[in-house]
Structure formats: structure tokens, C-alpha cells
Amino acid sequence: MVPPAPLSPLSAKGKPHSLSLHPTPPHPTRHGLKLWAEDEKLLSHITKHGHGCWSSVPKQAGLQRCGKSCRLRWINYLRPDLKRGTFSQQEEDLIIELHAALGNRWSQIAARLPGRTDNEIKNLWNSSIKKKLRQKGIDPTTHRPLSGAAAAEKAPPDEKTSLDDQRPTAPPPSDHALPLVGGAGKSMAAALTKDSVLDQVNYGPSSSPPSAPTAPGLSASLSPLLLWLSQNCRPSDVCPPAASSVPPPPNSLPSPPPPCTSLNGDHIWDCITGRGGADVEFHGSCSSSSLFDSSPLPWPEEELKWAEYLNSTFPAPSAMQSHGMFAAGVDVVRAEGPFQGGVLGTWLQVADVYSRDFQRISAAFGQI
């Protein structure tokens, strides 16, 4: 039986995917793909009705797949808010930094990279970033120098890493250690403690923002992360309820809020660790009724499509900080569209800081 022409927007290596269907028909034998001539059905169904209960989607949409498979297809491929194409250097830097703090929590990392999926990031990490880090002499698992003797000296025997595949074990649960999963949990768990995080967060009102770390090393790597989190975590997550109930005036947007002056360190910690629902996640609500709530923002239609989707997962756009996160995060790579305003500029500056910070951090690691 000749499989029908796939509808998947696959493209050749290195060529950016487009959201239009059938740009480059994939090889029909590519596993799984031949079944995805149903992409259009799935896309249409979810666009119209939302996914609701995934297990019922295949039946309702007339697909021959299980709900789980449909969900995966939607999340990793059909979601209209997906950003296609190669990762920018800034994105890669952010991934590395987030990986250092979160470990292999791809979904949480993906939540901080708008338009990117956990699968995408995971693939990038395994196929590209890992190698790059090793070439730079950094253990991609521990984010520490790879030099054998030094690494062995600093790490207990069971923490030794090899150039081959790492077999990390999760650190013991602790209220004060980042619940890192995978390799990053090793040494980083020891270094990244709640206290260290709070040290970064709870500086006095006259202190300089954390975007200008004064000391290289882990705490330095944490600072930009915290800055990022402070700006991009939902206000309701990182601020006390009373504070979050009063949205900042719109004209305050271009200047990022003093990252931590209004932030509670514990909330920041929760944000980092994922406690308290602080993650800005892209998964759609299971409620189809809320999935495509109309957006109050006069976005161009092109943007509106996925903005509607996002609107179901992000806080109300009136929470301008979140809007800024959403817009700027996307525009970091796709420097076009309607969001090139002060927010974007601010975010780009921040991203630039991250990039420079990461370079310093990498250099610092090399000196350890």
C-alpha cells in the first residue's frame, strides 16, 4: 500500500521548518511519518475543539492513533506557536544555563524557551550542545571542567564522569538542594542550594541587580538565571498575592522591574524548582473551552492564532510582565513581529547579558 502524501512540515536538515503543510514530503518509510497524513485532521480538530481529553481526540477526529500519540504529535509538531528553525546562540546559552540549574528537566527548560519543545531541546542537547561543551572542556552533565585529574580530585569517586555517556543518579531529596534530575544534579546540587539561591535573590534594595555578578562560578551563573526568572515567572508565582493583584502600569513595561526588590526569595526558589506551579508551561489546558479564548490583544491574525493558544496557558495578557515574557522570549530569536518594543529591547539586553555572563562563566569554569 502506498502511503498517502504526508502532511508533515518536515524539511531537510538545516532548513527551517515552515508552518505550511507539505513543503518537503518526507521519506514515506520514515517511521511513523507515513501515518501522519492525518496531521491536517488533528490540527483541524484541535483548532476547532481543543484537545480536551486526549484519549478521545483520535475518536473524535477520526484518527487511527492513540491519544497519547496525538498529544505528542500536537505538542512536538503541530502546535501553532512552535518556532521552527535552528536555535540561536542565545537560546543555546540559555539552555545550557537552565540545564545547569534544572538538569534534564527538558519540559521546564522548554517552558522558558517560548516556541521550543522539550523534545527539540533534548535533541539539541544530546546531538549538539553536549559535544560543544565537551570540546570546551566542560562536563555537560555536571557543568564542571572535564579535566580528568582535577575533576576526579574534586568529585567523590561516584561523581566521576567520563567522556562517554554519563550515568548520573539523582541527588537525595532535600529541601535545600535543587531537586535536579540527571547529571546536573551531581555537583550542582551541592553547590546550588536554596540558601545560595536566596543569597542571590535577597539582596538589599540598594544592591545592584543580579545581572552583574561580581564573582565567577556557580553563583555567577545563577544570577542571570534569577534575573531571567524574576522577569519571566508569572507575577502571581513570584510575588505575594497582594502584590500580584495590582498589575504594573503599562508605561512601566519597558524598564524591567527591579528583579528582586519585590520578589520573595522563597517564591523565586519555588519558581526555579518548579514548586508552586511557577513554571511557565506551554501545555494546553485540558479544558477545551478555555483553549481558544479570544485574546483581548489586537494582534495580527498570524500571531493571533497561536496567541490564542498561548492565552489559554499564560496568565491574562493584562499581566503585562507575562506578556513581555511571551513576546520577548519569542522575539529573541525571531526578531520580527509586533513585539519589537521596549520589552523586547529590554529582554534582548538581558539575553545579551546572559550570553556574556555565560561566556564569563565558561571561562571561569575553565579556570577552576
Partner DNA sequence: AAGGGTGACAACCGCCAGGTG
Partner DNA sequence: ACACCTGGCGGTTGTCACCCT
CB nearer to DNA: give 96 or 353. Answer: 96
Position among 88, 123, 262, 340 found at the interface with DNA (CB under 7 A): 123
Q: Give the angle subtended at the CA of 367 by the CAs of 361 and 368, to the nearest 5°.
A: 90
128-147 residues near DNA, rule: CB under 7 A: 128, 131
Asked whether position 37 contacts DNA by CB under 7 A, the answer is: no
Position among 14, 204, 205, 298 found at the interface with DNA (CB under 7 A): 14
Asked whether position 54 contacts DNA by CB under 7 A, the answer is: yes
CB nearer to DNA: give 64 or 208. Answer: 64
The least distance separating DNA from the CB of residue 264, rounded to whole angstroms, comes to: 22
The least distance separating DNA from the CB of residue 167, rounded to whole angstroms, comes to: 8
Helix axes 320-331, 218-232, angle to 10 degrees: 120
Asked whether position 86 contacts DNA by CB under 7 A, the answer is: yes
CB nearer to DNA: give 10 or 138. Answer: 10
Asked whether position 43 contacts DNA by CB under 7 A, the answer is: no
CB nearer to DNA: give 117 or 223. Answer: 117
Position among 41, 46, 50, 73 found at the interface with DNA (CB under 7 A): 73
Position among 165, 199, 302, 352 found at the interface with DNA (CB under 7 A): 165
Asked whether position 26 contacts DNA by CB under 7 A, the answer is: yes
Asked whether position 237 contacts DNA by CB under 7 A, the answer is: no
Distance, CA of 291 to CA of 76 (rounded, Å): 17
Position among 4, 44, 48, 53 found at the interface with DNA (CB under 7 A): 53
Q: Which grid cell is 156?
A: 567523590
Contact 345, 332 (CB under 8 A): no
Contacts with DNA by CB under 7 A: the residue count is 53
Position among 88, 216, 257, 281 found at the interface with DNA (CB under 7 A): 281
> What does the CA dihedral 12, 13, 15, 20 come to, rounded to 10 degrees?
40
CB nearer to DNA: give 130 or 144. Answer: 130
| Binding residues vs DNA (CB under 7 A) | 8, 10, 12-14, 17, 26-33, 35-36, 52-56, 67-69, 71-73, 76-77, 85-86, 104-108, 118-120, 122-124, 126-128, 131, 165, 181-182, 281, 283-284, 286
